[in-house]
Amino acid sequence: METLQDAIKLREEGKPEEAKSVLMALHRHSPNDPDLNYQLAWVHDMLGLETAAVPYYEKAISSGLTGADRRGALLGLGSTYRTLGEYDKSREIFELAKKEYPEAREFNVFYAMTLYNLGGYQQAMELLLTELAETTQDEGIRSYRRAIAFYADKLDQVWE
């Protein structure tokens, strides 16, 4: 019988359909395994099956997924909710993720997309500009880093 590692290898090799088949077979025997559910969510997302990915993400998270995989599952679920138009659920997941992983800057970028969809343009731009100013390696942007960071939360302010 093929293993979870075999399925991960297939996914990494760009064979999500094959990986999904292996994972579904494994899932019949271990439906509550958080790692297995996370991998199932991942391959469903790769295949453009976002709606089908959601319950696997939810099960992975609620079943005790930890570490880097939990971080990835929270990002995947929040992003998937956003692409499905479930903006409030997306916001809830990203707010949880930002509390659990305050150092994980990727959550701010995806959270900004959700805020945009919810009409929170000011906060979305502030998050994106701050991430850009603090993380870019582009020399042109780096030379204006202080100005970008300064204006990030003052986009509506007019100086005379």
Sorted by sequence, the CB contacts under 8 Å of residue 87 that are 6+ apart come out as: 81, 114, 117, 118
Six token digits for residue 71: 């971080």
What CA–CA distance (Å, rounded) separates 6 from 147? Answer: 49
- What is the number of other CB atoms lying within 10 angstroms of the CB of residue 102? 9
- For 33, 87, 96, 117, 157, the CA distances from 77, given in Å and listed in that order, are 17, 11, 12, 16, 35
pLDDT tens column, 7-21: 999 999 999 999 999
> Domain ranges in the chain?
4-119, 130-160
What CA–CA distance (Å, rounded) separates 69 from 16? Answer: 18
At 112, which helix (H) or strand (E)? helix 106-117
- DSSP summary character for residue 13: T
Q: Select 4-119's CATH number: 3.40.1500.10, 3.40.1030.10, 1.20.1090.10, 1.25.40.10.
A: 1.25.40.10
Of 71-75, 110-114, 146-150, where does mean pLDDT reach its minimum?
146-150
Looking at residue 156, what is its pLDDT?
Answer: 87
- Report yes or no: 94 and 118 within 8 Å, Cβ to Cβ: no
Looking at residue 79, what is its pLDDT?
Answer: 97
Q: Is the pLDDT of residue 1 over 70?
A: no
What CA–CA distance (Å, rounded) separates 158 from 36? Answer: 53
Q: Per-residue pLDDT averaged across 144-148, rounded?
A: 92
Sign, CA torsion 16/80/63/28: negative
Q: Is the pLDDT of residue 51 over 90?
A: yes
Q: Is the pLDDT of residue 158 over 90?
A: no
pTM, to two decimals: 0.91
What CA–CA distance (Å, rounded) separates 29 from 24? Answer: 9
Six token digits for residue 146: 């202080």
Percentage of the chain modeled with pLDDT above 70: 99
